[in-house]
Structure 1
Amino acid sequence: MKRLIITTISLLALCGCNQNTKTPDQIRQDAQNATSQASKVAAVATEDAKAAVQGVQDGLNLGHPVNINSASRDDLAALPGMDARMAGRIVDGRPYTSTSDLVGRHIVTGTEYDKISSRITAN
């Protein structure tokens, strides 16, 4: 029994002298660094996912022009560069005789119009 105790104490002492052993502060710093890296990776993944969703929406909208005189706010907001506020302005400005009325009546800017012009109609 005495020999087991001495062996155990000797092993613990050797483990304590191991230069690979990290202090609690070093472990905390390593965890902080790993968390920071994981956060950055998650942010990039989130942006990639948003871009993928937008690509799917864009792909779905390519074959079906959105009629600015009858489309819902949600359908308009799904257009590239559009948001709910801009879609509301389009709905509130109805009816339109042509899609260019959006710029002519200052509903959207020329830059905003350029993003959606190929995907809208005013039937």
Structure 2
Amino acid sequence: MRFAVLLPLALIAFTGCTPHDRSPDEIRERTARATSTAARDAKAAAQGVVEGLKQQRTININRASADDLKSLPGIDDDAARRIINHRPYTDSDDLVKRHVISRAEYDRIAGKIEAR
């Protein structure tokens, strides 16, 4: 008796799980969409990595050009020129000790500079 009840229920469950017949064109279209999405996501991830690496790059204040120094937050033409004119530095904190830039300016760029 149980078998007679379970068999029809099992058949109904299995028919709901059978894959639908898809045409080759539909399969190609879905594959193309998935590939396009994956390529776009991979490109966005790669761009994020590049941006992250750019932000982590430190600038050597003993060797950097004026343009490199001006890429730092709050460093303008005059500050870049002062940094270059007071070289060499033994430590990045020398910028404040020698009164080349203010403590507030230094605090904005401290993690982005080094003196080697």
**TM-score of the superposed pair, with normalisation by structure 2:** 0.54
Query: For the residues of structure 2 that align with 1:116 and 1:68, how far apart are their CA atoms?
Result: 11
Does 1:89 find its partner at 2:82?
yes
Deviation of 1:96 (Å): 0.1
Runs of 5+ consecutive residues of structure 2 not aligned to the other structure: 1-50
Query: For the residues of structure 1 that align with 2:74 and 2:52, how far apart are their CA atoms?
Result: 14
Contact 1:99 1:121 in 2 (8 A): yes
Does 1:118 find its partner at 2:111?
yes
Secondary structure at the counterpart of residue 116 of structure 1: helix
Amino acid of the residue matched to residue 79 of structure 1?
Answer: L
Query: How big is the alpha-carbon RMSD for the aligned residues of Structure 1 and Structure 2?
Result: 1.6
Does 1:108 find its partner at 2:101?
yes
Amino acid of the residue matched to residue 87 of structure 2?
Answer: R
Runs of 5+ consecutive residues of structure 1 not aligned to the other structure: 1-57
Deviation of 1:78 (Å): 0.8
Per the alignment, residue 3 of structure 2 pairs with none
**TM-score of the superposed pair, with normalisation by structure 1:** 0.51
Per the alignment, residue 5 of structure 2 pairs with none
% of aligned pairs identical?
48
Secondary structure at the counterpart of residue 99 of structure 2: coil
Contact 1:86 1:108 in 2 (8 A): yes
Between 1:79-88 and 1:59-68, the stretch displaced more is 59-68
Contact 1:81 1:112 in 2 (8 A): yes
* Runs of 4+ off more than 4 Å: 58-61
Instruction: Count the aligned residue pairs.
Output: 66
The Cα offsets for residues 21-77 of structure 1, whole Å up to 9 and x where unpaired, read as xxxxxxxxxxxxxxxxxxxxxxxxxxxxxxxxxxxxx96642210000000000001
Per the alignment, residue 66 of structure 2 pairs with 73
Counterparts of residues 51-66 of structure 1 (less than 5 Å) = 61-66=54-59
Query: For the residues of structure 2 that align with 1:85 and 1:60, how far apart are their CA atoms?
Result: 28
